[in-house]
Structure 1
Amino acid sequence: MASLLLRHAGRQCLRTQFRPVFCLKHAVPMGTSAQQEMDRYWAKNTRLSRPLSPHITIYGWSLPMMMSITHRGTGVGLSLGVSLFGLAALALPGDFASYLELIKSLSLGPALIYSAKFALAFPITYHTWNGIRHLIWDLGKCLKIPQVHQSGIIVLALTLLSSASIAAI
């Protein structure tokens, strides 16, 4: 019985291979090409006066948007900084104390040293405070738009205060 089914299936396969007419009988005509679809899409957008990018006209720059971008940027920057510092510690001769003495010997002004400390402390403190804000969001709290703006201002204030105090040390 199985051999009869196998022979019948084999004959059907051979028939479809040698008879293209049989295959074409079941073919569905293609509707439109990709180029035609794109032309129709752009014609509709032009007719409806839609902008090319809704992000430019609909979504204005807001505090939460900028803080989200800055949070990601500080995360990438901190990751790169730690990686480069680790590679430098492995590759450069000497130890940390010798490089610290080299910086002290440059006799840089206190304003420049404070600015450099602030520039190093800002991404760390911002990423930390904004990370705490995200953890609060993960708990389902402070998710309404006014609360999001208020927590953003609080994060910025805490970041500036903690960065300034760390730089003053």
Structure 2
Amino acid sequence: MAALLLRYTGRHCLRAHLSPRLCVRNAIPLGTTAKEEMEQFWNKNINSQRPLSPHITIYNWSLPMMMSITHRGTGVALSAGVYLFGLTALFLPGNFESHLALLKALSLGPALIHTAKFALVFPLMYHTWNGVRHLMWDLGKGLKIPQLHQSGVAVLVLTVLSSVGLAAL
């Protein structure tokens, strides 16, 4: 965009449509086009025989890496769940009590109810405990590799225990 503006200004300066103070003196024409630059880039990468970018398969999976990915995933899932719950509450007829009565009338059984409650509370507990872990990192604590693994295991244990406890309520 800037190159086009500069070219336009240069042409008008040559035609003396603009004042000499605004004109660029001794304008140098562009050396290559964007298409030529792009072709040079790709030819250089093809000739170097290197992979275009690191692929996920070249990494050794570690606990902190998996927990970071899971933290992001649970954040997205929790956000989507809140929006979905809000939209269904907004557009479905009836109120919360009528929907709760409908669920009770289904007689789903305690095992299914507790499993569903665990599945709903697990992302919240994981995201919460891992968020506390991230806050500790922001304070500069627990950043060494052994501490990362210890805090990761602690987050997983606390997540399972608190999820089981909340699902049992």
Please give the TM-score of this superposition, normalised by the length of structure 2.
0.75
* Partner residue in 2 for 1:30: 30
Give the distance between the partners of 1:133 and 1:32, measured in 2 at CA: 51
Partner of 2:141: 141
Provide the C-alpha distance between the structure 1 equivalents of 2:55 and 2:143, rounded to a whole number of angstroms: 22
Aligned to 2:44: 44
Name the aligned partner's letter for residue 136 of structure 2: I
Q: Deviations over 1:79-100 (max 9, x none)?
A: 2322332343344343323222
Matched with 2:70 is 70
Unaligned runs of 5+ in 1: 1-13
Aligned to 2:4: none
The match for 1:4 is none
2:13–2:24 CA contact under 8 A, matched in 1:
no
Residue matched to 2:117: 117
Q: Secondary structure at the match of 2:51?
A: coil
How far did 1:15 drift? 7.7
1: CA distance between counterparts of 2:39 and 2:88?
54
Structure 2 gaps, min length 5: 1-11
Aligned partners of 1:123 and 1:139: how far apart in 2?
24
More off after superposition, 70-79 vs 134-143: 70-79
**How far does the alpha carbon of each residue in 1:91-122 deviate from its partner, in whole angstroms, 9 at most, with x for none?**
43433232222111111132211210111010
Compared CA separation, residues 51 and 15, structure 1 to 2 (3 A):
closer
The structure that is helix-richer by fraction is 1
| Separation (CA, whole Å) in 1 of partners of 2:57 and 2:87 | 44
Q: Which has the larger radius of gyration?
A: 1
When normalised by structure 1's length, the TM-score is 0.75
What is the distance in 2 between the residues matched to 1:29 and 1:95? 70
**Farther-moved stretch of structure 1 (29-38 vs 149-158):** 29-38
When structure 1 is superposed on structure 2, of 85-94 and 70-79 the one drifting more is 85-94
What is the one-letter code of the residue matched to 1:165?
A: G
SS of alignment partner, residue 31 of structure 2: coil
Q: In the alignment, which of 17, 20, 28 is matched to residue 15 of structure 2?
A: 17
Q: Separation in 1 of the partners of 2:74 and 2:36?
A: 44
Q: Distance in 2 between matches of 1:15 and 1:119?
A: 69
Q: Give, in angstroms, the shift of residue 16 of structure 1.
A: 4.2
1:147 Cα shift? 2.1
Other structure's SS at 1:125 match: helix
Asked whether the equivalents of residues 125 and 162 of structure 1 are also in contact (C-alpha less than 8 Å), the reply is yes
Tell me, what secondary structure is at the counterpart of 1:31? coil
**Aligned residues with identical type, % of pairs:** 66
Count of residue pairs brought into register by the alignment: 154
Query: Could you tell me which residue of structure 2 aligns to residue 108 of structure 1?
Result: 108
**Aligned CA-pair RMSD:** 2.8
Counterpart CA distance in 1 for 2:116 and 2:123 is 12
2: CA distance, partners of 1:85 / 1:38: 47
